[in-house]
Amino acid sequence: MARPRIIFTGILQRCRRIWEVTRGVCTESPWVCLIVLAAILLTVLVVVVFSVLLKRIVGTRATILLDLTLFWLFACLVARALVFPGSFKLFQRNIEATYRVEMSRQYAHFLRQHLRQFLRLVSKQSDTVPRGMTVDGVATSIAVIETLTASFQMQ
C-alpha cells in the first residue's frame, strides 16, 4: 500500500515543479507563452486532421503505421538538430560565424605579438639599415599589422 502512495506523491511533486516553471515563464513573457501554446495547438490540430483523413482513405492499421513512421522521422530530425545544429542551413550560418569570430580572436592575439617581435628584431638586427628598409616602411608595416589585428578583432 505504501509503494503506490510514494509513486503518486512523486508524480504530484513533479507536476507541481512543471507548473511552477510554466507559471514563471508565463509571468515573465506572456507573449512567448501564447505563441508557443498556439503553435502546439495548431500542430496537434493538423496532426489529428491528417490522421482522420488518412484513416478514411487507407484504414486504421495503415494510419497507425504511417503515424508511427512520421513520428519516428520527426524524432530523428529533432535529435539531429540538437546534436548537430550545423547540419541545417538555418543554423549553419550562425555557427560558422561564431566559429570564425572565435578563431579570429584567438589568432589576433598571437599575430599581433609575433609580428611586433619580428619587426622589432628586424629593425634592431644591425646597426646599418637593411637594404630596402626605411623608417616609413617600418611604420607602415606596424600600421598594417594594427589594421589586420583590428580587422580580426571586429570579426
User: Would you list the DSSP string of the chain?
Assistant: -HHHHHHHHHHHHHHHHHHHHHHHHHHH-HHHHHHHHHHHHHHHHHHHHHHHHHHHHH-HHHHHHHHHHHHHHHHHHHHHHHH-GGGSHHHHHHHHHHHHHHHHHHHHHHHHHHHHHHHHHHHHS-SSPPTT--HHHHHHHHHHHHHHHHHHHH-
pLDDT at 134 over 60: yes
In this structure, which amino acid lies at residue 137?
G
Instruction: Record the pTM.
Output: 0.44
pLDDT at 39 over 70: yes
Q: Residue 46: what pLDDT? A: 93
User: Residue 93's Cα: distance from chain center in Å?
Assistant: 10
Q: Which residues contact 153 (CB under 8 A, 6 or more apart)?
A: 104, 105, 108
CA distance 34 to 16: 21
36 or 127, greater pLDDT: 36
pLDDT at 126 over 90: no
At 133, the pLDDT band (50, 70, 90 cuts) reads low
pLDDT winner (highest mean) among 11-15, 71-75, 85-89, 104-108: 71-75
pLDDT winner (highest mean) among 7-16, 22-31, 102-111: 7-16
pLDDT winner (highest mean) among 14-28, 33-47, 87-101, 137-151: 33-47
At 78, the pLDDT band (50, 70, 90 cuts) reads confident
Q: Cell triple for residue 33?
A: 507563452
At 130, the pLDDT band (50, 70, 90 cuts) reads low
